[in-house]
A and B are shown apart, each in its own frame.
Chain A
């Protein structure tokens, strides 16, 4: 079953604006990861946040994790056309199983 639920399902913004995507999950996790997928291609790992971390940065990406609310958010600042893609959160359950959400489709308009 898909534990991660991304919100919104689709997001369209202007280039230069910030994009925020949210992910909710149901059970306890070891870590939460965000991946990007360009149309029809393989997923690319963006960032991993451990369950004892609250915020993490990587370049223009900022991820927050609230384990009390079982939710995470991904913020992309100063968006670019190349950021157009689908974004998935994935939660690590147990030793090795990654469970992916259905993704947020982000479109950056020039």
Chain B
């Protein structure tokens, strides 16, 4: 089954304790992205990657790191989590945009609900 998986689904941690949220897709997509969703703010992009070893900042990258060593995986790293990073996080993937096809619908993972105390 084509899917994007995230782990863990729920996490409660304390300020300053490094954590990693994993994301994996099995659709051979080049493009992967991380979003956070907060009430009243919608989805905001944290980081994205257009292919292996290529990552770029989104709108809210502060406090986050990512890596793309393999095509299927795109982990999100919080080196020193703070309470303002309490949020619902989504990983998404898609084929690279092609204007002729405009075929870049994004496939979303189920989300990771993170609470930082």
Which A residues lie within 8 Å of B106 (CB)?
43, 45, 90, 98
Contact with A along B95-107 (1 / 0, CB 8 A): 0110100101111
A96 touches B90 (CB 8 A): no
B110 close to A42 (CB less than 8 A): yes
Q: Number of B interface residues at 8 Å Cβ cutoff, please give it.
A: 30
**Pick the contact of B40 from A40, A88, A98, A102 — CB < 8 Å?**
A102
> Contact at A92–B97, with CB atoms within 8 Å?
yes
Contact of A42 among B45, B90, B99, B104 (CB under 8 A): B90
Across the interface, A41 reaches (CB within 8 A) one of B59, B96, B105, B111, namely B111
Query: How many whole Å from A40's CB to the nearest CB in chain B?
Result: 7
Instruction: Please measure, in the bound complex, the distance between the C-alpha atom of A92 and the C-alpha atom of B41, giving whole angstroms.
Output: 18
Please report whether the interface of chain A is mostly helix, strand, loop or mixed according to DSSP. Answer: strand
Contacts of A28 in B (CB 8 A): none
Q: Which residues of B contact A42 (CB under 8 A)?
A: 4, 90, 108-111
Binding site for A on B (CB under 8 A): 4, 31, 33, 35, 40-45, 48, 50, 58-59, 88, 90, 92, 96-97, 99, 102, 104-111, 113
